[in-house]
Amino acid sequence: MAVIQYNKCLSLLGGKMMKKTRKPLLIMLLTLVMISVFMAGCRSDKKVGSSSDNSSKTTTIKIAHVGSEDTTLHTKYVKFKEIVEAESDGKFTVEIFPNSQMGGEREITESTQINNIQISSPAIGQLATMSPALQVFNLPFLFKDSKQAYEILDGQIGQELLKSLEENNFVGLGYAENGWRHLTTKKGPVTKPDQVQGMKLRTMEDPLHLAFWKEIGLNPTPLAFSEVFTALSQGVVDGQENPLTLIHSMKFHEVNPYITLTGHIYDPEVFIVNKTFFDSLSEEDQQLIEHAAQESIKYQREQNKLDEDELKEKLQEEGATITELTDKEKEAWVKAVKDIYKEYKDDIGEDTLRKVLEETDNEIGLEALK
């Protein structure tokens, strides 16, 4: 703008400005123009996101997941956001993208690996090709209850396996949880494995999950999570398996009203952060991210525990039939898949597998390894 005004002045003054008597005026005008341009340049040089006192810029942390906003998959990240933004004094801004906005679990995991997304919590199966030993936590009927699962995951074995992710540009900050997976069908209550022989079941795109259901006698069909409701509605598959929180939030019970509480797999999610991003942070900021991750994991576990009974009531009120297995009925399911332990001992590593089975007092699994 200053340059345009200067050109207008020249045109108004005409050629007379070239006279020696006008040189002081010319010099003065030129000096004012240069000062104006210089000051404008200084103002535009401020970094985007910086505050008016020229403090360091704000860093955005992007998080993505496949769940809806009313699940603990989402609320744990809300808790993380609250802690990070409050305790960093505005240094970090956290953006959360739910409902598969950034793709399915595979796409989200890949995006986290290349730092397009900074944080996610994929299921174990998504990380199996990168760290095969982690599959030990994906084995069916491994844990007796959530308390035992937390002790193993948060203990020495779980923490050692998290470190194996670093060579794939992830830092594992802990184990969040998807929850206990249960079976849903449309044809009636199920209590025995032989009642579902040949049934087309939607599963995760996870080799161990596929092998498990084939062992039972079903026809497992991997589909993206966002496609499950439509597939059930159109009869592409006859059933699916997920934790109660997802069954309810995604309304799977509306088209699959029979729920059997098989609890066949405790489904941990690995809370990961891109290693390149994490390594770029100061030690103080790394500690903040770690602290926020641990607090959000603790919050999610507590919420899932509180929600379990409430979800059962809601599902039944909305027309679902819930079947709980007796100890004898559950034992039949466990024995039907015991060979899966031996099948995966080489992929997981026999020493790791045996150690976990011993710590969980899993006699059927240990017997299968003989």
pLDDT for the residue numbered 2: 43
The lowest-confidence range among 47-51, 120-124, 140-144 is 47-51
Res. 50: pLDDT tops 50: no
Percent of the chain past pLDDT 70, that is, above it, reads: 85
Helix (H) or strand (E) run with residue 352 in it? helix 350-359
- pTM, two decimals, is 0.81
Q: What is the mean pLDDT of residues 100-112?
A: 95
Is 40 part of any domain? yes
Is 54 part of any domain? no
Res. 361: pLDDT tops 80: yes
Residues 82 and 60: their CA atoms lie apart, in Å, by 14
Asked if 115 and 276 count as a contact pair (C-beta separation under 8 A), the reply is yes
Res. 45: pLDDT tops 90: no
Cα 329 to Cα 190, 267, 286, 333: the distances in Å are 10, 21, 47, 7
User: Which DSSP category does 43 fall into?
Assistant: H
Res. 237: pLDDT tops 90: yes
Res. 22: pLDDT tops 80: no
Residues 200, 274, single domain; the answer is yes
Residues 65, 40, single domain; the answer is no
Cα angle 239-271-102, degrees, rounded to a multiple of 5: 65
- Output the domain CATH number for residue 96: 3.40.190.170
Residues 71, 205, single domain; the answer is yes
Binning the chain into helix, strand and coil, the percentages to the nearest 5 are 55, 15, 30
pLDDT for the residue numbered 144: 94
Residues 246, 346, single domain; the answer is yes
Within 8 A by CB and 6+ apart from 307, the residues are 72, 244, 245
Average pLDDT over all residues of the chain: 87
The lowest-confidence range among 34-38, 158-162, 310-314 is 34-38
Structural domains of the chain, count: 2
Domain enclosing residue 75, as ranges:
59-368
pLDDT for the residue numbered 56: 65
Both structure tokens of 299: 């919050």
Is 51 part of any domain? no
Residues 23, 108, single domain; the answer is no
Residues 130, 208, single domain; the answer is yes
pLDDT for the residue numbered 339: 94
Within 8 A by CB and 6+ apart from 107, the residues are none
Residues 312, 199, single domain; the answer is yes
Is 49 part of any domain? no
Residues 123, 191, single domain; the answer is yes
Residues 256 and 183: their CA atoms lie apart, in Å, by 10
Q: What is the mean pLDDT of residues 147-154?
A: 97
Residues 174, 309, single domain; the answer is yes
Is 311 part of any domain? yes
Backbone angles phi, psi at 242, to 5 degrees: -165, 165
pLDDT single digits (tens) 134-144 = 999 999 999 99
Residues 109 and 127: their CA atoms lie apart, in Å, by 8
Q: Give the HSE-up count for residue 353: Cα atoms under 13 Å, Cβ half-sphere.
A: 26
Q: Where are the beta strands (DSSP E) in the chain?
A: 59-64, 92-97, 119-120, 170-185, 200-203, 219-222, 239-242, 258-274, 321-324
Residues 70, 39, single domain; the answer is no
Percent of the chain past pLDDT 90, that is, above it, reads: 81
Q: What is the mean pLDDT of residues 42-59?
A: 47
Between helix 2-13 and helix 23-44 the angle, nearest 10°, is 170
Residues 312, 361, single domain; the answer is yes
pLDDT for the residue numbered 370: 87
pLDDT band at 211 (very low <50, low <70, confident <90, very high): very high
Is 74 part of any domain? yes
Asked if 293 and 94 count as a contact pair (C-beta separation under 8 A), the reply is no
Q: What is the mean pLDDT of residues 207-219?
A: 94
Res. 161: pLDDT tops 70: yes
Is 52 part of any domain? no
> Which residue in the block uniquely carries the two structure tokens 């942390």?
61
pLDDT single digits (tens) 296-348 = 999 999 999 988 889 999 999 999 999 999 999 999 999 999 999 999 999 99
Is 50 part of any domain? no
Residues 164, 97, single domain; the answer is yes
